[in-house]
Amino acid sequence: MKQRHIFGDVLALLGYALLRRRAGRQVTASERSERPRLEAYYVGVLVAFAAFLVAWTAWQNQREHESAARPPVRVDVSSFLWCWAFSYPQAPERRTVSGSCRGDDLPTLVVPTGHPVQLRLTSRDVIHSLWVPHLRYKMDAFPHHVNTFTLTLDREGRWMGKCAEFCGQRHRTMHFWIKAVSPEEYDKWLQGQQGAAV
Ligand SMILES: [Cu+2]
């Protein structure tokens, strides 16, 4: 749409210039052969613009490579009657976070901000569904099957997740936390140095 707009404007301008500057109107060309200051100004603007484009491209390339260099974060999510387990295969000793989902004993799914996190979701018994209402993420968890989805959280925070598939007696308390922390804090947590959870 925008391109068409600009194209139309350019055509209109061209038509106007062609009609307006007819020979019959006695418009004479400038006698001056040089305008060094104006030319220097043009050159300066063009050089600055070219330098900006090169620098910008290099910077964006650099950023792209940095995030590509980091392996995607993987979390194996296991649902069961009536709670969740989050397992980190990339941790030194495959770290698993779980709980009972009784009272305040809710497990926390910790993820780094700004990086795609691949969740591999399955169930140990019946069908459950992982749901984070605030983030609008929902995915069913089936036994003997792995559902995969990727989420990227851009800001730090903590949100409540629930089970969205009625699964029996304690279905309504089958909650968990999802917590997004800075990549540095996530790394520390993954190494087991710090309890970013809770
Ligand atoms: Cu459930």
Helix (H) or strand (E) run with residue 151 in it: strand 147-151
CA–CA distance, 57 with 185 (Å, rounded to integer): 30
Residue 121 lies in a domain: yes
Q: 84: domain range?
A: 73-190
State how far the Cα of 180 lies from the Cα of 134, in Å rounded to an integer: 13
Give the Å distance between the CA of 125 and the centre of ligand 1: 10
Residue 14 C-alpha to ligand 1 middle, in angstroms? 67
**Ligand 1 center from residue 83 Cα (angstroms):** 8
How far is the centre of ligand 1, averaged over its atoms, from the C-alpha of 130 (Å)?
Answer: 8
* pLDDT tens digit sequence for 14-56: 998 888 766 666 667 777 778 888 999 999 999 999 999 999 9
Whether 165 is in a domain gets the answer yes
For residue 35, what pLDDT is reported?
Answer: 83
Decide if 57 is inside a domain: no
Model pLDDT for residues 133-163, shown as the tens digit of each residue: 998 889 999 999 999 988 889 999 999 999 9
Q: Is residue 166 part of a domain?
A: yes
Structural domains counted in the chain: 1
Is residue 197 assigned to a domain?
Answer: no
- The per-residue b/e assignment along 118-136, b for 16 or more CB within 10 angstroms, e otherwise, is ebebbbeebebbbbbeeee
* Res 27: pLDDT: 67
In a domain, 54, yes or no: no
CATH number for the domain spanning 145: value is: 2.60.40.420
- pLDDT tens, residue by residue, 69-111: 667 889 999 999 999 999 998 887 778 888 888 888 899 999 9
**Predicted local distance difference test score (pLDDT) of residue 26:** 66
Q: How far is the CA of 167 from the centre of ligand 1 (A)?
A: 4
Q: Is residue 112 part of a domain?
A: yes
Asked if residue 11 belongs to a domain, the reply is: no
Q: How far is CA 80 from the centre of its chain?
A: 30
